Amino acid sequence: MPEKALLVVSFGTSHLDTLEKTIVPIEEDLAAALPDRVLRRAFTSGMILRKLEARDGLHIDDVPRALEGLAGAGVRDAVVQPTHIMHGAEYDKLLAQAEPFRGRFERLAVGRPLLSAEEDYRQAAEALLEALPERAEDRALVFMGHGTEHFANPAYCQLEYLLHDLGRTDVLVGTVEGYPGFGEVLRRLSERPGVRRVVLAPLMIVAGDHAKNDLAGPEPDSWKSQLEALGYETDCRLTGLGEYPGLRGIFVRHALEAAGDGPK
Ligand code: CO
């Protein structure tokens, strides 16, 4: 085992198709940018870890196990890079789980989540717009973020604000569990009587349960079904954020900063 390691920490997903398209490419880009480090994976969601183990016999470490393994193998310098979107509850949990391992490494650094500095929001907004359809008078783009009770929740509002400042006032951000919710999205759409078409996309690293069911599912309470019941034409783009190269670049920059390597 080399002396330097990079532990990539994700919330995780039990949908293996989106895992391959989102978390794996993030890990690959990070591995390519920090080639002197051995790469390991950890997930923070205990529920997902248990499900993968029971259903697929797939074992993935949680953060304490992964750090224990690295320390035990003689790693002295560990960078932990989360794929979390914001400094919310999952990031707090990661920091708390890493803390007891400080004495086990000569150096243990945790990289910042996706949306931290203004520069991150700007780069994220540009990466999203590069991949999304141009502005059209009769169309709106609606992102579904997760949302949280954590005080980091306004990150969604800041991203939307920045998109509007870039001239894309046709983009709205709503969340499943926080503010703004889908009710606010519907109200703001109704304030734009010219809009008849809505592009729906997840604002989550993976396009898992929330994207497949809450956003685009056939049940009457999905965002897609509710919009269609109101007469909107919908177009679901089930692309997890990990699929956007420009967003993966933000994680790479944050990992390089944590490694002390600086941007290339
Ligand atoms: Co959820």
Which tens digits make up the pLDDT trace of 139-187?
Answer: 999 999 999 999 999 999 999 999 999 999 999 999 999 999 999 999 9
pLDDT above 70 as % of the chain: 98
May I ask the CATH class of domain 4-114+243-259?
alpha beta
Residue 166 CB burial class (10 angstroms; 0-12, 13-18, ≥19): middle
Whether 164 is a known active-site residue: answer no
Distance 193 CA to ligand 1 centre (A): 31
| 50: pLDDT strictly greater than 70 | yes
Given the residues 84, 87, 146, 254, select the one marked as catalytic. Answer: 146
What pTM was estimated for this model as a whole? 0.95
Same fold, 4-114+243-259 and 118-240: yes
- Report how far ligand 1's centroid is from the alpha carbon of 121 (Å): 22
CA of 175 relative to ligand 1 center, distance in Å = 10
For residue 264, what pLDDT band results from cuts at 50, 70 and 90?
Answer: very low
CA of 148 to the centre of ligand 1 (A): 9
Q: What CATH number belongs to 118-240?
A: 3.40.50.1400
DSSP letter string, 47-107 = HHHHHHHHHH----B-HHHHHHHHHHTT--EEEEEE--SSSSHHHHHHHHHHGGGGGGSSE
**H-type helices in 135-213, by residue range?**
155-165, 182-190, 209
Q: In the chain, where are the structural domains located?
A: 4-114+243-259, 118-240
Burial 109-142 (b: 16+ CB within 10 A, else e): bbbbbbbbeeebbebbbebbbeebeeeeeebbbb
pLDDT of residue 1: 66
Give 146 Cα–ligand 1 centroid separation in angstroms. 6
